[in-house]
Structure 1
Amino acid sequence: MPGVLDLVGIFVFAVSGALAAVQKRLDVVGMVVLAEITALGGGILRDLVIGAVPPVAFTSVSYVVVPLLASALVFFWHPHFTRIMPAVMLFDAAGLGLFCVTGAIKALDYHLSPLHAVLLGVITAVGGGILRDMMSGQIPSVLYDRQLYALPALVGATVATALWQQPQLHGVFVSAGSALLAFGLRVAAMRWNWRTPRARGVGD
């Protein structure tokens, strides 16, 4: 089940990357590149940092094929994906919750400190989106976290890391609960337009 959920998250992030390529009027090559980078970028960065080489994205065929499938679907039916963007955003939030937790736990398995595990969990969740935005010529959305994207990842990774320090709490329920917390916070931010504050005196 974790592997299936991982691939679901990869698919959704790949869709967001492919849609960004459509909005930028890129060709099919650009679409595939953005889809692959968005879906796999955070996990590759995580694996390189902790020394898990080669990264899993380069040892599993499905990790490469799933973004290709997402690119093909968006290539032919991008108007339909655009219409169901609210549903896509829900899956994106689920992927965010999943990746921030799996990233943090994998970092702990490689004996990183709790603080660094949290940071790596956030990087796993948002790294692909940062690379997508940079490659498509825009400021990474995480730098103006106006609808709480990085913050839910930070909360989910922190809770997962804190609970994982207790041996009796290891298990799928800790992972699922932490991912659900990040997911819920992200969905609530989208629903009620929660925003992080800007510097004092700087208005909207």
Structure 2
Amino acid sequence: MDTIIPKVTAKRLPLYYRYLEKLASAGIPRVSSKELSRSLNIDPATIRRDLSYLGALGRKGYGYDVEYLIQFLKQFLKQDEVTHCILIGVGNLGTALLQYDFLKNNAMLIAAFDIDPKKKGKTINSIPIYSLRSLEKFMAEEEPLVAILTVPVQAAQDITDRLVNAGIKGILNFTPTTLQVPDEVKIHYIDLSVELQSLIYFLKKSEPVGLNEDDR
């Protein structure tokens, strides 16, 4: 499916999918945009517009068929296709991420890498840890598509260059720096300090934290 949608919409679709699965498990057959809005703290007009990019999925006066919308989003988000990922940097944050069940989001962490020789050969949550020296060899053999970067900021660009040269297609960057990558490599930034400051700002302003039309 080649539907082109705004990036902010693309980021919200997995949120809708996850919540719809909860509704389905509770035996709820249909849901309105207003009900979704109350639960997700997203403006109902934004929800309707997001889903309208995918086609006529709802009916006025009825709302959305939960099971139908789940199956549609499952196909659109390619939930049946597991993407192999690796993690670079097994510090405190990297260790915490290795404990997370990424398979719930159609991703599988297959390996982690670190420069600390004491971590080589160990496993966390059944995920093996390798020396960073073996990164290129592993990439050539296993061909993971996505790398999660949790390394010190001074090492981020050098490791990114190695990943790109080895064929990585996407990077989830937890380091507080902007990375230079070719256009064909997709990169998402997760800056925890910025997110925390944003949350504090909204708390002090007594405004809703959820996304709305102004975020489009």
TM-score interval for Structure 1 and Structure 2 normalised by the shorter chain: 0.3 to 0.5
When the two structures are superposed, what TM-score results if normalisation uses the length of structure 1? 0.32
Instruction: Point out which structure has higher relative CO (alpha carbons under 8 A, 6+ apart).
Output: 1
Structure label with greater radius of gyration: 2
Name the structure where helix makes up a greater proportion of residues.
1
